[in-house]
A and B are shown apart, each in its own frame.
Chain A
Amino acid sequence: MSETVDPALVAVRFFAYGLAMLAFGRASFDVYATEPRPGRSPLLAAASALLALAALAYAVLLAREASGAAGWPDAAAVAMVCSATGFGRALTVSAAAALALALLELAARQLRWPKLALAAVALGALAFVGHGADDTGLRGGVRLAVLAVHLLAVAAWLGALPALWSALARERRPLALLDRFGWVGGVSLALVLVTGCATLVFVALDARGGLGRGYVQTLVLKLAFVGGLLVLAAVNRFRLTPMMARAPERARRMLRASIIAEQVLGLGALASVALLGQLDPTM
């Protein structure tokens, strides 16, 4: 038996998850931000539109992989993947929700909750694409729910960082905003840890305790990125946020620099996840 990893699939997975998290993070930030943003969000519109394209590209690549034929798959094969497989239907739902979100963002500046709901559907559907769909029955349902919550929690935290970085530059009440973000980030982080551990248990049980070396190495790399993120989050929350009261300009500068570092680490973690999704945990 053999198994290969297609770099194109890893790349499209990276972009699909990254864009979906960016869209959900931006949409959730708009719900709790202290000041309404002045205009439409090019970031939200672009991330959503690109997510729709990435989901479609993902389906095309999976159709190529599934058919095993050289070259690009024909439209019938792609349509069959989108209609006859669970992951294909999930990608179709994700693309449709992302497209609707992009159009809604272009059409209306408000409607924050409908936008958040569409972003949640676009991201949550991706839980069905990959190892999350390994199980069936009650266990399969629990695993998918856990993974969907994990994705949404990560996105509420890391996906909102670009919006926070941008808002901090102009925010008149940065402490109030940081308090709200700290609360949302804290809840998200707790959910990330709980659902992350549960997901790892599911994977380990499937592998019957025998995780492969390549999978473990990639997992350790991901956990190293997550560890760095936790350290930066703690510095932001317990050192830089209090500093905002006594040295606002310095704190604002340092926070924005720290947020950029967080995003770099987040991209590293995302790349590890994109690869993990393509690896067989036992190899």
Chain B
Amino acid sequence: MVTRPILVAVATAAALAPLAAAAHAFLQRAEPRVGSEVAKAPPAIRLSFTEDIVVPFSRVAVSGPPGFGGAGLPHAVAGDARSLAVDLKRPAPPGAYTVRWRVLSVDTHVTEGDFSFQVRPQAAP
């Protein structure tokens, strides 16, 4: 008797599948890429997650080589509720950078993690 409504509900939920999100916010993409080596330090680091996040309660700490000027506070990315960005202060010299993140997702859960990237030394002219 209730089998048909159940099948309808399951089919409806499945039909909405292409818009799927993931449960809890995990890092999906970063710019610069996780573990990458870039020729020049970017002006900002952008992190994109698998779920919408609450930026005011999210934190990003960036550590770098001696001489690195640090990073600003995380800010929202216009039109993208799953991403945040931090601006790098100058100078951002060549060397290894580590990004530690801690984000609050809209489903109340806090997740954290870290990744690194390298800025190559400038080739001599």
Contact = CB atoms under 8 A, between A and B. Distances in A.
B9 A138 contact: no
B84 to A, nearest CB: 14
Contacts of B16: 138-139, 142
Contacts of B19: 135-139
The binding surface of chain A is classed by DSSP as helix
Nearest to B5: A194
B113 A85 contact: no
A139 B22 CA distance: 13
A1 B5 CA distance: 39
In this complex, the interface size class of chain A, counting residues with CB under 8 Å from chain B, is 35 or more
Interface residues of B, number: 37
A21 to B, nearest CB: 19
A38 interface: no
A84 B2 CA distance: 40
Nearest to B19: A139
Contacts, number: 117
> Main secondary structure on chain B at its contact with chain A?
mixed
B111 to A, nearest CB: 6
B124 interface: no
B23 A282 contact: yes
A190 B5 contact: yes
A133 B10 contact: no
A103 to B, nearest CB: 28
B23 A66 contact: no
A251 to B, nearest CB: 26
Contacts of B24: 3, 280, 282
Interface of B: 1-2, 5-6, 8-10, 12-14, 16-17, 19-24, 26-27, 51-52, 54, 56-57, 59, 81, 102, 104, 106-113
